[in-house]
Chains A and B, each alone.
Chain A
Amino acid sequence: MAVRTIEVRERVMARNDEIADQVRERLLAARVPALNLMSSPGAGKTLLLERTLTDLGGELVLSVITGDVQTQNDADRLARHTDRLVQAVVTAGACHLDARQILTALDAIDLAATDLLFIENVGNLVCPASWDLGESAKIVLFSVTEGEDKPVKYPKMFQEARTVVFTKLDLLPYVPFRVDRAIDFCRQVNPDLHYLTTSSLVAQGLEEWYAFLWAQARSSKRAG
């Protein structure tokens, strides 16, 4: 029998990236910046968003897509802080969101009436870094209960990100974590990162976070 070899040489992520471009075009047309929040499980993504929806929701129209392996608990929590629809994506085993899920979720969101879109990714420092969702920027949340050397252990996540938000600063007196050492590790993998320090629990550093979000929203409107 004749065995023939068919050359393909196509990137495995090519289809995801095509769909991510479609997401980007829709967001650009609607002038909506989309922030992809990523972290290890339990770093405080949902609590930061709860605070943000409560404090900024009266001034900016915020939409949220949440991703979880199972349950829509995060979406239910966030829905208590906004009258907007919070779109839950249950990945049913997958450890990250992909662009196709975001494109589908956008169908349920009124982009014309949205100032800023948050994508709360699945808690995982590995896989989400590899999947382009068509977002404007990737943001890593880094809690002080983690090791300072997370950036060098999970370099791709910190290389892909534009901003690092340190969380749970209220716990600093009780944990052996130094923010300056963590930033040194961040700089080893990405010298261009921008840093914010927060505690959602005691509302520390949130004004800087909100100023950052306002800047995102304003620059998007100007770009359009």
Chain B
Amino acid sequence: MHELGLALEVCRMAEERLGTNALASVRAVGVEVGDDAGIEVGNFQFCLETLLREPPFDGARPVILRQPGPVLRLAYLEVDDGRPDN
């Protein structure tokens, strides 16, 4: 339950950053998780996978970046903006 609440917060932060309509273009969500963050990483990853699979997302991939310490941070959003490659 704790992990689900945190995963929902990550989704809310992505929405705040990009706007709801752009969330379907998110390909990956990078989250730094500290060893002392009090988070069960497998559970957290599962919660993120479940949420990012469904609208307004469209199958974005969670990337958990393990760190020392208590950090829990949304590190980056990888977005396919639809423009052709140069």
* Bound complex: CA A209 to CA B43 (Å): 39
Let me know if A12 is at the binding interface, CB within 8 A: yes
**Chain B residues near A3 (CB-CB < 8 A):** 27, 78-81
| Binary interface encoding of chain A residues 84-97 relative to chain B, with 1 for a CB under 8 A from any of its CBs, else 0 | 00000000011110
Are B5 and A11 in contact (CB-based, < 8 A)? no
Are A1 and B74 in contact (CB-based, < 8 A)? no
**Chain A residues near B78 (CB-CB < 8 A):** 3-6
Interface size on B, residues (CB 8 A): 30
Let me know if A56 is at the binding interface, CB within 8 A: no
Are B76 and A10 in contact (CB-based, < 8 A)? no
**Chain A residues near B5 (CB-CB < 8 A):** 94-96, 98, 127
Are B83 and A1 in contact (CB-based, < 8 A)? yes
**Chain A residues near B79 (CB-CB < 8 A):** 3-6
Are A10 and B73 in contact (CB-based, < 8 A)? yes
Q: How many A-B residue pairs have CB under 8 A?
A: 85
Judged by DSSP, the binding face of A is mixed
Interface size on A, residues (CB 8 A): 25
* Bound complex: CA A82 to CA B27 (Å): 54
| Binary interface encoding of chain B residues 3-25 relative to chain A, with 1 for a CB under 8 A from any of its CBs, else 0 | 00110011011000110000000
* Bound complex: CA A144 to CA B47 (Å): 35
Interface residue ranges of A93-150 to B (CB < 8 Å)? 93-96, 98, 126-127, 129-130
A4 to chain B, nearest CB (A): 6
Let me know if A175 is at the binding interface, CB within 8 A: no
Are A12 and B9 in contact (CB-based, < 8 A)? yes
B17, closest chain A residue (CB)? A8
Say whether, besides A93-B1, A94-B5, A95-B1, A10 and B74 are in contact (CB < 8 Å): yes
Closest 5 CB pairs of A and B: A127-B2, A95-B1, A6-B77, A12-B72, A8-B74
Interface residues of B (CB under 8 A from A): 1-2, 5-6, 9-10, 12-13, 17-18, 27, 31, 36, 38, 71-86
Report 27 cross-chain contacts, Cβ distance below 8 Å, ordered by A residue.
A1-B81, A2-B80, A2-B81, A2-B83, A2-B84, A2-B85, A2-B86, A3-B78, A3-B80, A4-B78, A4-B81, A5-B78, A8-B13, A9-B76, A10-B13, A11-B72, A11-B73, A12-B6, A12-B9, A12-B72, A13-B72, A94-B5, A95-B2, A95-B5, A98-B5, A126-B2, A126-B38
